[in-house]
Amino acid sequence: MGTLVLLRHGESVWNAEGLFTGWVDVDLSAKGEEEARRGGELLLGADLRPDIVHTSVLKRAIRTANVALDEAGLHWLPVKRSWRLNERHYGALQGKNKAQTREEYGEEQFMTWRRSYDTPPPEIADDAEYSQFGDRRYADLPPELMPRTECLADVVARMLPYWYDSIVPDLALGRTVLVAAHGNSMRALVKHLDGIDDQTIAGLNIPTGIPLVYELNDDFTPRKTGGEYLDPEAAKEAIEAVKNQGRK
Ligand SMILES: O=C(O)[C@@H](CO)OP(=O)(O)O
């Protein structure tokens, strides 16, 4: 029941620079803004008109939703935001260069940190430059829920309550729901929707700025496993680019 449209934010400034980002609140690059605009154009072209938008509390997702919805003439949509849709907290890797990290620690450790299901990177210190400790937007979070690093399993655990409590009720009204989020919070949601196992999810990457559409059954499972990208050709290429980060 309902239509779910997932939109990963457009390229961020740190995506372009090849840095681990996580909860650091970096903006879109000029290319990312253009990708977000194109995302809105694709929604229009597919005649998909979301009724409500959910975003993380990070600027790159919020701005992507704004730019895309503006393009689609839907800037006025009601919006809900939650830290539970944030990117995976990248711990002590936040702010570090991906290629340098790969060189320093080797391919296996690099890929374990990037894509293993249950091994988080080392924790970030509260006084580190790229820590979110003390950030006002997380003031309401019980201290034990404030992450200092996360693996994908942690993201699934903190994202699912939001899926069930906030997104599913909107879908249950038969609405078209846009979720503007991040590579790894979307991997967590897609893992849940498509029932992907803990090993296979390592090979799944989400492209920036290309809407992924799931028509849902009455029990909120996908009618079609994997959903459908509105621009499948561009998605294929962009998925490869995400996969190969840190390799140049
Ligand atoms: O740096 C990050 O926060 C994420 C998304 O950009 O990177 P990765 O794809 O390596 O998990």
Structure tokens, 113: 């940190």
Kindly give the confidence (pLDDT) of every residue in the chain, 248 residues in length, as a single tens digit, with 9 standing for 90 and above.
Answer: 899 999 999 999 999 999 999 999 999 999 999 999 999 999 999 999 999 999 999 999 999 999 999 999 999 999 999 999 999 999 999 999 999 999 999 999 999 999 999 999 999 999 999 999 999 999 999 999 999 999 999 999 999 999 999 999 999 999 999 999 999 999 999 999 999 999 999 999 999 999 999 999 999 999 999 999 999 999 999 999 899 888 86
| Side chain identity at residue 175, one-letter code | R
CB-ligand 1 contact for 246 (6 Å cutoff) = no
Structure tokens, 146: 């404030």
Burial of 174: CB neighbours in 10 Å, binned 0-12, 13-18, 19+: exposed
Q: At what angle do helices 152-162 and 183-194 cross, to 10 degrees?
A: 70
Cα–ligand 1 centroid distance for 57 (angstroms): 16
Substitution site in 15, 24, 247 for ligand 1 pocket (most atoms within 8 Å of beta carbon): 15
Residue holding tokens 């069930």? 164
Q: Measuring CA to CA, which residue among 165, 163, 180 is closest to residue 216?
A: 163
Burial of 84: CB neighbours in 10 Å, binned 0-12, 13-18, 19+: buried
Q: What is the DSSP string of 166-180?
A: IIHHHHHTT-EEEEE
The pairing of strands 228-229 and 79-81 is unpaired
Give me Rg for the CA atoms of the chain.
17
pTM: 0.97
DSSP annotation of 21 reads: -
Longest dimension (CA), the chain: 50
44 CA to centre of own chain: 22
CB-ligand 1 contact for 21 (6 Å cutoff) = yes
* Catalytic residue set: 9, 87
**Is position 184 annotated in a ligand binding site?**
yes
| Structure ipTM | 0.96
Please state which of the four CATH numbers 3.20.20.105, 3.40.50.1240, 3.40.710.10, 3.30.300.180 is assigned to the domain occupying 3-243.
Answer: 3.40.50.1240
